[in-house]
Chain A
Amino acid sequence: MFSSELEARFEKLLKSYPPGRQRSAMIPMLLYGQDEVGSVTDELIEEVAKRVGVTALQVNEVLSYYSMLHRKPMGKYHVQICTNISCLLCDGDKLWEQACEKLGIGHKEVTADGQVSLEEVECIGACSWAPAIQVNYDFHHKVTPEQLDRLLDGLKKNV
């Protein structure tokens, strides 16, 4: 059900914690699993629950707390725009408005073709290189409106 790389990672994670503490691997397993599967699916929840030794309900209870874990699939390219204080002072809020307008979608929404999704995020730790954006896990620093425009065009074409 998972790739061999992911299986190897799961195995390593389950060995990383003291005996009887395999529950500790739950959140990393969900995040790495989501990266491969596309979202936290019912199957992923069942599988993680089984491997760490808790119920699916217990996994559900935990995952709803963490903002990076999504029950529904985001776009192939998940564009996260920071508008927190340091980025705001460098017009990160205007980048956010620009992206919403250009793509015609809002917070945590996905374009009709499933290609791009948007999220207004809290501080991503790029404050000295504001305004900052993350596309999936890649950082883009000191983003200008023109760069954002080109970036979004590139994501749309890159089917």
Chain B
Amino acid sequence: MYNEPSPLETRILSRRFGKPNSASIDTYLADDGYQAFVKASRMKPEQIIEEVKISNLRGRGGAGFPTGMKWSFVPRNSPKPKYIVVNADESEPGTCKDRLLMEYDPHLLIEGCLIAGLAVDAYAGYIYIRGEYRYLIDIVDKALAEAYQKGWLGKNIQGTGFDFDLYTHTGAGAYECGEESALLESLEGKRGVPRIRPPFPAVVGAFQCPTVLNNVETYCAVPPIIRDGGKAFADLGVAKAGGTKLTCLTGHINKPGVYELTLGFPVMKMIEEVGGGIRNRKKLKAFIPGGSSCPVLTAAECEGATMDYDSMASRKSMLGSGGVVVMDEDTCMVKVALRIMRFYAHESCGWCIPCREGTTWLRKLLTRFHQGMGTRSDIDLIGDVSKNMLGRTFCPLGDAAALPTISIVEKFRQEFEDHLDGKPCPYEHASHMVTV
């Protein structure tokens, strides 16, 4: 196991994490594995989608779009073949949860794909795994081979008359390929640049055919939903957001790790009780709810906040991918803004100008600032350039770069002023003093 489980977890998707041979098909079958598929094979496709709608499952990759609704957009009477695509390109900074699902429970993912395949009448699927996760490609390939061997993939699966093939596909290092339309371009052997939408992937996706494209965790939630009913899953969470979320606690926290928490879990309880509080008895300064694309919250904004889409939206942030980043009182927020922007400038695909030029310009401005060479007017310029990217880019990467930057400039303006006039970073010394 990567970290000790917490008694505050609700382990639905992670219930086999850390168990011996949890990735093998025998372990999975002995633990009711593939029974949700059997149940789904006796349901009408519309009933499967209805059950997913009732569950209030929302996309776990970051956007939070209702999954059942997404599936219902796939045109039933299209003569084209239909595809299932799994986004396993996990690369949102702060996020390391899909790794564990594939490592410990690859058959749960395969079963989720099978059920999605039944729901939209797909005949094949692709699991797009980031290239850095080579060991996971090996684990998933082994699981696929086991599933073929035992008749849970291939032709006429378990006598149901349903044919389904599933393949792994490796990326080769590109954050942008986690964006759904860029992922589809990459899957077709091209540069990972986004496609203009509409049409959305449900109508024109992989190989120009109707496609269901979801995150690993989203597919993994489907077998429990079919097995126990959508309502049971919905009841675990809050209104409009059902179930649990794998949450990655990272940064200045005593017990970093991946924990499965119900939607609506209180933020401060998560930090203090699940994560064991801030390292070295420091105070909380800033908090990122779900990956570096989310606007940053101050400690005061975390009071009363809960880990769900609506609570985060009411604080003008997002639940995102589950990559929680905790920052203590000694953190230099200018350095944080700079590191986040360096990332987006590196990963911008260059397809559209506001993102390509905006991220590079902001990286230069923030670098200058952190070195103590910024001017007072630069503070507003950082905010202005960011705001001019918002909503003006081809894909969400531009917003992902702008949103955290705007939030840091607005909420931690004093720290930018403290870096003016050639002053050395006031936090560098303090951060050197931190020891684990």
Q: Which residues of B contact A61 (CB under 8 A)?
A: 191
Is the pair B189, A125 in contact by a Cβ cutoff of 8 Å?
A: no
Is the pair B94, A123 in contact by a Cβ cutoff of 8 Å?
A: yes
The residues in B between 317 and 335 inclusive whose CB is less than 8 angstroms from any CB of A are: 323, 325, 327, 331, 335
Q: Which residues of B contact A128 (CB under 8 A)?
A: 2-3, 96, 248-250, 256-258
**Would you give the shortest CB distance from A92 to chain B, in whole angstroms?**
10
**Would you give the shortest CB distance from A48 to chain B, in whole angstroms?**
10
B132 in complex: contacting residue of A32, A62, A68, A83, CB < 8 Å: A68
Q: Which residues of B contact A141 (CB under 8 A)?
A: 2
Is the pair B173, A66 in contact by a Cβ cutoff of 8 Å?
A: yes
Is the pair B93, A123 in contact by a Cβ cutoff of 8 Å?
A: yes
Q: Whose C-beta in chain A lies nearest to the C-beta of B2?
A: A129
Is the pair A122, B96 in contact by a Cβ cutoff of 8 Å?
A: no
Task: Report if A85-B336 is in contact (Cβ < 8 Å); known contacts: A24-B169, A123-B92.
Answer: yes
Interface residue tally on B, bucketed by range: 35 or more
Q: Is A41 among interface residues, defined by CB-CB distance under 8 A?
A: no
Is the pair B172, A69 in contact by a Cβ cutoff of 8 Å?
A: yes
The residues in B between 74 and 133 inclusive whose CB is less than 8 angstroms from any CB of A are: 81, 90-96, 98-99, 124, 130-133
Q: Is A154 among interface residues, defined by CB-CB distance under 8 A?
A: no
Is the pair B131, A86 in contact by a Cβ cutoff of 8 Å?
A: no
Q: Bound state CA distance, A26 and B131, in angstroms?
A: 13
**Would you give the shortest CB distance from A141 to chain B, in whole angstroms?**
8
Q: Bound state CA distance, A24 and B95, in angstroms?
A: 27
A89 in complex: contacting residue of B95, B134, B173, B325, CB < 8 Å: B325
Is the pair A127, B96 in contact by a Cβ cutoff of 8 Å?
A: yes
Q: Is B175 among interface residues, defined by CB-CB distance under 8 A?
A: yes
**Would you give the shortest CB distance from B356 to chain A, in whole angstroms?**
13
Q: Is B340 among interface residues, defined by CB-CB distance under 8 A?
A: yes
Q: Is B405 among interface residues, defined by CB-CB distance under 8 A?
A: no
Q: Bound state CA distance, A122 and B174, in angstroms?
A: 10
Q: Is A50 among interface residues, defined by CB-CB distance under 8 A?
A: no
A127 in complex: contacting residue of B93, B331, B436, CB < 8 Å: B93
Q: Bound state CA distance, A69 and B170, in angstroms?
A: 12
The residues in B between 148 and 176 inclusive whose CB is less than 8 angstroms from any CB of A are: 167, 169-175
The residues in A between 29 and 73 inclusive whose CB is less than 8 angstroms from any CB of B are: 30-32, 52, 54, 61-62, 65-69
Q: Is B186 among interface residues, defined by CB-CB distance under 8 A?
A: yes
Is the pair B190, A62 in contact by a Cβ cutoff of 8 Å?
A: yes
Is the pair B130, A27 in contact by a Cβ cutoff of 8 Å?
A: no
Q: Is A104 among interface residues, defined by CB-CB distance under 8 A?
A: no
Q: Whose C-beta in chain A lies nearest to the C-beta of B347?
A: A122
Q: Bound state CA distance, A84 and B340, in angstroms?
A: 7
Q: Which residues of A contact B292 (CB under 8 A)?
A: 84-85
Q: Bound state CA distance, A61 and B288, in angstroms?
A: 36
Is the pair B189, A85 in contact by a Cβ cutoff of 8 Å?
A: no
Is the pair A24, B172 in contact by a Cβ cutoff of 8 Å?
A: no
Q: Bound state CA distance, A91 and B252, in angstroms?
A: 11
Task: Report if A89-B251 is in contact (Cβ < 8 Å); known contacts: A31-B172, A126-B96, A128-B257.
Answer: yes
Q: Whose C-beta in chain B lies nearest to the C-beta of A66?
A: B172
Q: Is B207 among interface residues, defined by CB-CB distance under 8 A?
A: yes
B93 in complex: contacting residue of A18, A31, A84, CB < 8 Å: A84
Q: What 3 pairs between A and B have smallest CB-CB spacing?
A: A68-B173, A67-B173, A23-B189
Can you list 26 A-B contacts (CB < 8 A)?
A16-B169, A21-B188, A23-B189, A24-B187, A24-B189, A61-B191, A62-B191, A66-B131, A66-B173, A67-B174, A84-B93, A84-B339, A85-B94, A85-B251, A85-B288, A85-B292, A85-B339, A86-B325, A89-B251, A122-B347, A123-B93, A125-B98, A125-B99, A127-B250, A127-B256, A130-B251
